[in-house]
Amino acid sequence: MTLLAPSDPLRHNHTPRGTLVDLALLVVGSSAALIALILWFDNAQGGLTGNGVFKSLELKPWVVDPANAPLYPSNYLFYPVYGVLCRLLDLLDVFAGDPRRQLTILNAVSASLCTGVAYLLARALTGDRVIAWLTGAFHLATSHVMFLAIVNEDIMPSYTVMFAAMALGAVWFARPSAARVAAVSVLFSIGWLFEWRLMFPTLPAMLAALWLCEPRLRQRLAWIALFLACMVATATVVALAWRDHAGAVGPFDLIWTGKAVRSVWAGFTWAKVGYLWDGIVAYLLGTGVTTFDRLPGWDIWRFATTFWLLGIAAVAGSVLRRADDGPARALLAVFGVTFLAGEVFNLYSQPQDPQMQINVMAWVTPAWALVLLAARGRWPTRGLAAMAAVTVALFAYNVWSIAPLRGLDSKWRSAIERLERQGDPARTVFLLHDFDWTMVYASLHWGTAEPGLAGLGPAPQALPKFKWIGFTGDVLRHPDWSTERHVESLRRQIDRALELGYEVIVVRLWNIPEAQLLTETGMVADVGRLGALQRMLRTDFVATPVSVDPVAGSLYRLQRAAGR
């Protein structure tokens, strides 16, 4: 069979009939659906991390005073571009003055544009308009894409640009030319200039595609050299455009920023293999159903989704084996090597994080287009109708999976108000899990503050309003410390807060089960270190119940244990 249909832009220089209309309908329709989800969800944070709060605080200067706002090498283009777009939303009175929620709107539009890219890729690969429509819809329905499109994480614009570069590479590198190699390299570079780490899985994939699709050795080396030269040239142009701006760096500092390379997140542990499995299957399917009571021990979510992904890969592989050699090689190299390199990279970092998986699992979208092609070939009408029903069911299931997180913005606003009544912030230091939502929303409503007591005077002290000690604060900042030193540091901080006359209120941590603590913190600390920290709390301090908040959890007031 021929993978590239006669209408493919590689073979003709005209746009296939209906493409522009389809793109307009897809982008506008997807944007409307996602924005409706955002309003229904009422949870800009999404329930995964608090990154969006802190990203929005870093973005704010680019909205109100871009001339003096600082650049960040690992997100060099993200803040300037999103700053301009937030100002546009201010003019349109869309969440005016609130970048934290404006990010969700911009992410929704970005994801909708990415839906259009998925449509174009599928149409280029199969030449089939219906398959292209269904591929775009399927891409949007996958759990990670849909979820990251409606929350305020910062990955969506960089993913959209990178996915577009991968799609072009998968089609154009089957027959490379200087213009095509240069164009893909520039687009690829813009993608990682939004989010630096996206360079690593896809750079070897692009170079592999150029190597595999070009039979002449000299020309292979020439294409690779051109790709790398255009990458450096793009970084140079961007660096020159921002020279003398606050935080500006040179092109080679952009190419290697070293983000998180030596952080507590870096390094391989066997626990990350399990997290990797979670991250892979969660890309496709949300966790609305994980087990059946009648099948004890059977994790329906992990196993069913794993079989589904393996089935997609198997069917797509059988189609590729019968396809034209050049296009099949380009597609496999760009998306396959990105997957393999990306998962190796993820094992070193945070393999369960949707932001780490969304670009690595991008192979699922073109593979689904090939599954649709196979379905149409075997069951011309019923096959695609059944696949359309699967896509609708997938989207509905993934929306249902996030329903328990609905309304958390409003709920946490009320929870922080209740917390302020329970403990006067001028006289209270909170002991919190560093990944706890109390920390995130207190930072949002009271102002951000570093954990710890540096510079804190005797109680009462109005500013900073949010005073807190991180349960694993020093673990995150000093991964090289011994367990004994971490335990002593936490004990010393609590003692110091009490000596200064503050009440120390511990939120949720006092009665959290050890297994749950490990689940929430296992990426940065092993069970021995977590257990030692928890034992010290219960041995050296006495906790008096304050209240049980329906959102924040149990609150206890800490005092030194007798005899200390």
Q: What are the domain boundaries of the chain?
A: 19-404, 408-560
Least trusted range by pLDDT, from 127-131, 164-168, 472-476: 472-476
Indicate whether 296 pLDDT > 60. no
| Alpha carbon distances (Å) from 362 to 165, 277, 331, 426 | 12, 16, 12, 48
Q: How far apart are CA 349 and CA 266, in angstroms?
A: 5
Give 473's pLDDT tier (boundaries 50, 70, 90): confident
Q: Round to whole Å and give the CA distance between 357 and 502.
A: 43
Bridge-based pairing of strands 553-560 and 503-507 is antiparallel
CB 79 within 8 A of CB 59: yes
Determine how many CB atoms are found less than 10 A away from the CB of residue 383.
Answer: 17
- Our CA angle for 161, 146, 352, nearest 5°, is 85
Q: Whole-prediction pTM value?
A: 0.88
> Given the structure tokens 């990306």, which residue do they identify?
342
Give the distance, in angstroms, between the CA of residue 449 and the centroid of all CA atoms in the same chain: 24
DSSP state of 214: -
Asked if residue 316 has pLDDT above 70, the reply is: yes
2-30: per-residue pLDDT in tens?
455 433 433 334 567 788 999 999 999 99
Residue type at position 489: S
Per-residue model confidence as pLDDT tens digits over 90-145:
999 999 999 999 999 999 999 999 999 999 999 999 999 999 999 999 999 999 99
Residue 295 confidence (pLDDT) above 60: no
Average pLDDT over residues 155-184: 97
Alpha-carbon span 75 to 96, nearest angstrom: 23
